[in-house]
């Protein structure tokens, strides 16, 4: 079993979030426990959806990537910090910022916020892998370029 030990340089919250992708979501009953508080694992779902919507905003269709090139993205590491609860009917935003991109992986810093209050934040490493073998594979050059151009944190 591998225990995630964050690299402090990579996991420090970015100072500038101006280039972050924003995805808004309403908190529904199904997202909460009996007390109306968002269940902790749902923050990971919100972050996953936000990364998918970010890729979609760049014109990357993950089903097409899988079908035509046999490539998928998987989470290989994560660390999350919970700061304040989201509640039933809240409207929250998930901010997603690529902080590092390699040949076959990307590092994200993501925040779930309500107005300006941080509810949860996490560092996520996403790997590009071959769908059949689940072995690391290079991020296609055109997608790599799109990510570099769209991510002000990488400049």
State phi, psi for 28 to the nearest 5 degrees.
-100, 165
Active-site residue (options: 33, 89, 116, 142): 33
For 107, half-sphere exposure in the C-beta direction (CA atoms, 13 angstrom radius) is: 17
Residue 9 catalytic? no
User: CA–CA separation, 56 vs 64, rounded Å?
Assistant: 11
CA distance 146 to 55: 9
By annotation, the residues acting in catalysis are: 33
């Amino acid at each position: 079993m591998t225990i995630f030990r964050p690299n402090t340089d990579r996991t420090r919250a970015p100072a500038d979030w101006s280039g972050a992708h924003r995805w808004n979501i309403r908190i529904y009953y199904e997202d909460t426990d009996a007390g109306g508080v968002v269940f902790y694992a749902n923050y990971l779902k919100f972050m996953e959806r936000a990364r998918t919507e970010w890729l979609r905003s760049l014109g990357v269709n993950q089903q097409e990537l899988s079908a035509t090139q046999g490539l998928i993205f998987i989470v290989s590491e994560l660390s999350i910090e919970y700061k304040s609860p989201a509640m039933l009917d809240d409207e929250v935003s998930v901010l997603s910022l690529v902080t590092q991109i390699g040949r076959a992986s990307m590092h994200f810093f993501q925040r779930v916020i309500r107005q300006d209050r941080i509810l949860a934040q996490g560092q996520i490493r996403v790997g590009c892998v071959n769908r059949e073998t689940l072995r690391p594979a290079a991020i296609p050059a055109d997608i790599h370029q799109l990510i570099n151009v769209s991510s002000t944190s990488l400049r």
